[in-house]
Amino acid sequence: MGKDTQVSIAIIGTGGVGRCFLQQCSQILPQYSNVSLVFLSRSNRSLRVPTWNHALRLDTWEKDLAASTDPALSPQELLAWFATTENELILVDNTSSPDIAAFYPKFLGHKITVVTPNKKAFSSDLNLWNEIVENAYPNNPDGGFLYHEASVGAGLPIISTLKDLLETGDEVQKIEGVFSGTMSFLFNNFAPVEGKGGKWSDEVTKAKNAGYTEPDPRDDLNGVDVARKLVILARMVGLQIESTSAFPVQSLIPTQLESCSSGNEFIEKLPAFDDEMEKVKTKAEEKGKVVRFVGSIDVASKAVEVGLKEFDKGHAIAGLKGSDNIISFYTKRYGSNPLIVQGAGAGGEVTAMGVSADLIKAIKDVHGCKRLR
């Protein structure tokens, strides 16, 4: 990296993924003599350097942030502060905030590189997606770089793989897979290839107790998280998908339990509906198959869908273990043998790894190696 290029990093979000990311940063940033952490914030407070020549300490960030009396900055205030330096800037947004996401176009338009796992930025309003893409490099030659690998596959290289396929001229025909570590864990235990499996309500309870689900399992079982990931990939291959409501998304929440006041109430009442899921499993077993919760994009027909599907027991999707995700890219080059990406697709450490890998790419990019082409 050139001696004259100073890179300043601002991080929003220090809980969960953010905490794991900061731990990884303590190993990454010392490798770069002219890269420094200048800003940290969580929901109610922030910490920033007194001058742009200073750097925040990664070994004491938690104590220093807790002691800070400075409030969190709004996106507008943060952008105004960024305008006071000529350093190259990288904003890492580890939140799921739609308000920060809505400001990405302005950050990018001011040559600020954005690194984020925030899938809401790329799966909600189509106009926002278009504004983000238009303001990012290379569509905007003076725009910031954009990295959001972890918005789809956590630490799995899903977005980068799709980009490579598209940029090298391959024709993506179909994308299909298990996009949720929660759903993978549930169905691998509820309907294993070797048969049997537990009761549906028992498996949901086990997943919740093991930390695989959200505090309210309905936030996983409604299929929306998977749908968001498909919206992102569909838009990347050129489909103008308005939102997650623009295609079929199967919810596994019994209609009678949608109004439960809490996740605990939902868990208590779920056993009464075990027979419904048992019928789904038995129907597949009678055909020598297993049922899985998948998402798929058929590019030619512009069809996107999320829900239950039966697979032969020898299929790669059927043979998943634990909470692994698997995504298959069917393309013109790869023919009938898809390019498959498989591995852990959830968890703080692996999601943070996806963000960290993006940060390393961003540091190299803001140095100017791509802008000089």
Which residue, among 275, 316, 263, has the nearest Cα to 294 in the 3D structure? 316
Low-confidence winner among 238-242, 271-275, 303-307, 367-371 (lowest mean pLDDT): 367-371
Question: Model confidence at 8, in pLDDT bands (50, 70, 90)?
Answer: very high
Q: Is 229 a catalytic residue?
A: yes
Q: Percentage of residues in the chain with pLDDT exceeding 70? A: 97
Tokens linked to 158:
């899903």
Mean pLDDT of the chain: 94
Which residue, among 193, 100, 111, has the nearest Cα to 144 in the 3D structure? 111
Among 119, 120, 229, 289, which one carries the catalytic annotation? 229
pLDDT reported for residue 345: 77
H-assigned helices in 29-73 = 61-67
Inform me whether the pLDDT recorded for 371 exceeds 60.
no
Residue 226 CB neighbour total at 10 angstroms: 24
pLDDT reported for residue 148: 97
* pLDDT (tens digit per residue) in 344-353: 877 888 899 9
Count of residues making up the chain: 373
Exposed, middle or buried by CB within 10 Å (0-12, 13-18, 19+), for 168?
Answer: exposed
Q: Which residues lie closer than 8 Å to 364 by C-beta, 6 or more apart?
A: 1
- Give the C-alpha separation, 306 to 233, whole Å: 13
* pLDDT (tens digit per residue) in 148-171: 999 999 889 999 999 999 999 999
Average pLDDT over residues 283-312: 97
Q: Which residues lie closer than 8 Å to 31 by C-beta, 6 or more apart?
A: none
pLDDT reported for residue 368: 57
Inform me whether the pLDDT recorded for 177 exceeds 90.
yes
Task: Map tokens 């338009």 to a residue.
Answer: 109
pLDDT reported for residue 370: 40
Indicate the pTM of the whole model. Answer: 0.93
Average pLDDT over residues 112-129: 95
Task: Map tokens 């107790």 to a residue.
Answer: 209
Inform me whether the pLDDT recorded for 372 exceeds 70.
no
pLDDT reported for residue 270: 98
pLDDT reported for residue 373: 29
Question: Model confidence at 1, in pLDDT bands (50, 70, 90)?
Answer: very low
Average pLDDT over residues 38-64: 96
Average pLDDT over residues 305-316: 96
DSSP class per residue in 255-319:
GGGTT-SSHHHHHHHGGGGHHHHHHHHHHHHTTTEEEEEEEEEETTTTEEEEEEEEEETTSTTTT
pLDDT reported for residue 180: 94
H-assigned helices in the chain = 17-28, 61-67, 75-82, 98-101, 104-109, 120-123, 126-135, 150-153, 158-167, 181-190, 200-209, 218-221, 224-236, 263-269, 274-285, 348-364
- Report whether 292 contacts 308 (CB < 8 A): yes
Average pLDDT over residues 52-72: 95
Which residue, among 351, 326, 328, has the nearest Cα to 338 in the 3D structure? 328
- Give the C-alpha separation, 274 to 157, whole Å: 36
- Report whether 342 contacts 324 (CB < 8 A): yes
pLDDT reported for residue 369: 42
pLDDT reported for residue 4: 63
Average pLDDT over residues 79-83: 97
- Give the C-alpha separation, 220 to 204, whole Å: 10
Inform me whether the pLDDT recorded for 341 exceeds 90.
yes
Average pLDDT over residues 56-71: 96
- Give the C-alpha separation, 258 to 130, whole Å: 33
CA-angle at 189, arms to 158 and 17, nearest 5°: 40
- Whether a cis peptide bond, with omega within 30° of 0, leads into 248 is no
Average pLDDT over residues 206-215: 88
